[in-house]
Chains A and B, each alone.
Chain A
Amino acid sequence: MPSYDCALSLEKVDCERGGSPVLKGVNFDAKSSDTVLLFGANGSGKSTFLSVVAGLTTPTSGVINWRIGEASGQGAIDPLGILFVGHRAPVKTALTALENLNFWFDLYHAPEDNRAKNGALETALERVGLLGRENDRVGSFSAGMKRRLDLARCLIAQRPFWLIDEPTAALDEAGKAIFCEILKEHACDGGCALVATHEALHVDARVVRLG
């Protein structure tokens, strides 16, 4: 397993959406092995926060500093350092579970990594409890199964920063437990996970309230 060394800091970050302010003077720090749960009411800016860190939304003011190993920078984090998992599970219903995951693997890895691919996909599907259904089309999956499949991206991406929005929506208790395990392992590897959620997850995490 890779071991990460990373850090992230936001200073006085403001962000507007559709003309109204969503984030106001947000200060935030996170480093290797941190798991941060972002709490906040609906509309408090949890998704916007993740979107700003992922570089999808440009903040109106403020500074973002990041460091991954030797590399560091200001502004949006190097895309090769982040894994962004949005609140909807972007799985294609016409494809099988394996094909969906295969697509993300190709996207997250250089072609040189292909030798390890089959093993990595199988392990990831086994972890999220979908082994045995890997050749079924995702159209036949329940919302929770789609979510599990999407969370399997965490296991194959190998990125230090995880930005995850509402991971437990539609997940059953067993699914939540699996996700918490995955988060713990990521922290052990030195990764840093920012998770926007409404639920208290059973992980050793720092809680940040927005809004």
Chain B
Amino acid sequence: MLTPAWCALAKGGFTRTLWPVLARDLKTATRTGGGWLQALFFFAVFCTAAVFAIGPERAALSQTAAAMIWLGGAFAVQLAAPGIFSVDLEDGALPALAAENPSLSGYYCAKVLLLIMLASAPIALLSPVFFIFFALSPGNALSASAAVLMGAPTLALTAATTAALGSGSKGGGVLSTALAAPIVTPVIIFGVAASEQAATGVFFSPELRILGALTLFYAVALPPIAISALRVTLE
């Protein structure tokens, strides 16, 4: 079941679907009244609320900073993900695209890139501001955010995969959130640890390396699962 996905890469259907889909979706995103800001907005609200919930004590704030920012980022990307597939399922574009590129590999990669560009990368780029809210010094905030930026592709990959797994059912959002837990948890564990280490001045910590390794592992392991799930949705 997994092999056709990679066989078809060579046939040219991959790039022929990837760029048009990505270009179309980016253009659509700019026209939907700021809909693409949804993930970023959720992240901002989550982090601000967390600052108030934890209270004014600087030590408590800086201790929880990395955990809150990674959680907020992960949830925000996760929430934005189901929409990226449902738009093409609702109007019947997915069957037409699958007839063109049966492996859906180009389509899936376009959607992951879209999620990186519209959700996880903007969140990572905005995160220094929120690290400062959490009483980190600007320098430390920047290096802690660099770890978030490194984890940004993984957050998008995991969210796109769980969204694909939930795409077949009406309650897909709930299902995909449940499925996301075991896949996202390792990213959060090592992401938080990497950001904490970075904030104390150790940027290339073992945790950051593990985060990098996780990203590479997921980049190979998750796409076939997601693509198979999308194919099953079409059947």
Q: Is the CB of B235 within 8 A of A57?
A: yes
Q: Is the CB of A107 within 8 A of B98?
A: no
- Taking a contact as CB atoms closer than 8 A, the residue among B13, B24, B92 that contacts A103 in the complex is B24
Query: How many Å lie between the Cα of A99 and that of B24 in the bound state?
Result: 8
Point out the residues of chain A lying under 8 angstroms from B234, CB to CB: 56-57
Closest to B91 in A: A90
Query: How many Å lie between the Cα of A117 and that of B97 in the bound state?
Result: 20
**How many residues of B are counted as interface, with CB atoms below 8 angstroms from the partner's CB atoms?**
28
For the complex with contacts A91-B91, A94-B32, A107-B16, 4 further pairs of A-B residues with Cβ separation under 8 Å are A51-B95, A92-B28, A92-B87, A95-B28
Q: Does B220 contact A (CB under 8 A)?
A: no
B-contacting residues, A48-82, CB 8 Å: 51, 54-58, 76, 79, 82
Question: How many A residues are at the interface, by size bracket?
Answer: 20 to 34
Query: How many Å lie between the Cα of A48 and that of B21 in the bound state?
Result: 26
Q: Does B53 contact A (CB under 8 A)?
A: no
Q: Does A144 contact B (CB under 8 A)?
A: no
Point out the residues of chain B lying under 8 angstroms from A57, CB to CB: 234-235
> Can you give 17 A-B contacts (C-beta < 8 A)?
A51-B95, A55-B102, A58-B235, A79-B13, A79-B100, A85-B96, A87-B92, A89-B91, A92-B87, A92-B93, A95-B27, A95-B28, A95-B31, A103-B20, A103-B23, A106-B19, A107-B16
Point out the residues of chain A lying under 8 angstroms from B101, CB to CB: 79
- From A76, A84, A87, residue with most partner B Cβ within 10 Å: A84
Report whether over half of chain B's contact residues are helix, strand or loop; otherwise say mixed.
Answer: helix
Q: Is the CB of B95 within 8 A of A94?
A: no
Point out the residues of chain A lying under 8 angstroms from B13, CB to CB: 79
Q: Could you count the A-B residue pairs with CB atoms below 8 Å apart for me: how many are there?
A: 75
Q: Does A110 contact B (CB under 8 A)?
A: yes
Q: Does A108 contact B (CB under 8 A)?
A: yes
A-contacting residues, B50-105, CB 8 Å: 87-88, 91-93, 95-102
- From B23, B93, B100, residue with most partner A Cβ within 10 Å: B100
Q: Is the CB of A55 within 8 A of B99?
A: yes
Query: How many Å lie between the Cα of A81 and that of B199 in the bound state?
Result: 56
Q: Is the CB of B24 within 8 A of A56?
A: no
Point out the residues of chain B lying under 8 angstroms from A89, CB to CB: 91-92
Closest to A163 in B: B99
Q: Is the CB of B99 within 8 A of A84?
A: yes
- From A76, A88, A91, residue with most partner B Cβ within 10 Å: A88
Closest to A91 in B: B91
- The 6 A-B residue pairs with the shortest CB-CB distance, nearest first, are A88-B92, A90-B93, A84-B99, A106-B20, A94-B31, A86-B92
Query: How many Å lie between the Cα of A92 and that of B234 in the bound state?
Result: 20
